Amino acid sequence: MTRTWQIFDQINALTTSEGSNVDPKVDAWLSALMERIADAFQSMGVSGLGEGAQAARQAFERVDAVHHLDPASPAFVGGRLAAAADLLGYAAARTANSEAESIAGRSPYAGILSALAKHPLRNVDLAAEVTKSDAEICRHLRKLRELDLVAPQRRGREVFNALTPIGRLAVEQGVQRAQRVPLEHTNVIDLAANQGLRLNAIKPAANVSGSELPRLSNSA
């Protein structure tokens, strides 16, 4: 665990040993922790945020086993730890690291992720969907799991592959990039090239007199 999140273990140790979930020191630590979380949103990658979310959840569960915490309370340890776990978990789900973003747009990974975006698939079905061998699919899935883009999902005796929140976000971002029209292919007026345009320099059609033209304002 990184030093940033060791405070969760300190909170757990103090609350369980001293038998209080409203200790002033714990309250101060939790206030400082929320500031760390705010900083982490700007500087940490998905792995660090995910580690923090897991540490917060474990601390909550350990303290709850002793004090039966109320996760709906915003004032004390239960509410603060539950909020920390939720915030860090959400941030991790919304933060795809650069390697994940890069690999999600490359073949064959892009095809695998697109197939799983429709619905979870077994290895054999996924191999047929993207026309790869079973060995290739296993190798590619191993890489996608390392990057937290895909996770196994057990249904009875069958194991399916499903997108994680990060994997689904990566697919959505890829679709948005593909649908974005380059500026040079749009009909947007190049204002820089038309800075010399003057409305009063435009001559009316030969069969229309100037007095018949509509005015854009009340000025003469």
Q: Is 216 or 72 the better-scoring residue by pLDDT? A: 72
Domain with 112 in it: 99-179
Count of CB atoms situated within 10 Å of the CB of 166:
24
67-82 pLDDT, tens digit per residue, is: 776 666 555 677 788 8
> 3-class DSSP state for residue 217?
coil
85-101 pLDDT, tens digit per residue, is: 888 887 776 665 666 77
Q: What pLDDT score was predicted for residue 173?
A: 74
DSSP H or E run through 162 = strand 158-163
Specify whether 56 is located in the same domain as 116. Answer: no
Q: Does any domain span residue 66?
A: yes
pLDDT tops 60 at residue 211: no
Specify whether 7 is located in the same domain as 78. Answer: yes
The number of residues making up the chain comes to 220
State how far the Cα of 180 lies from the Cα of 32, in Å rounded to an integer.
42
State how far the Cα of 113 lies from the Cα of 150, in Å rounded to an integer.
8
CATH number of 131's domain: 1.10.10.10
Start-end of H helices in the chain: 6-18, 24-43, 46-67, 77-93, 98-104, 109-118, 123-130, 134-146, 165-179
Q: What pLDDT score was predicted for residue 161?
A: 94
Token look-up 């490359």 returns 106
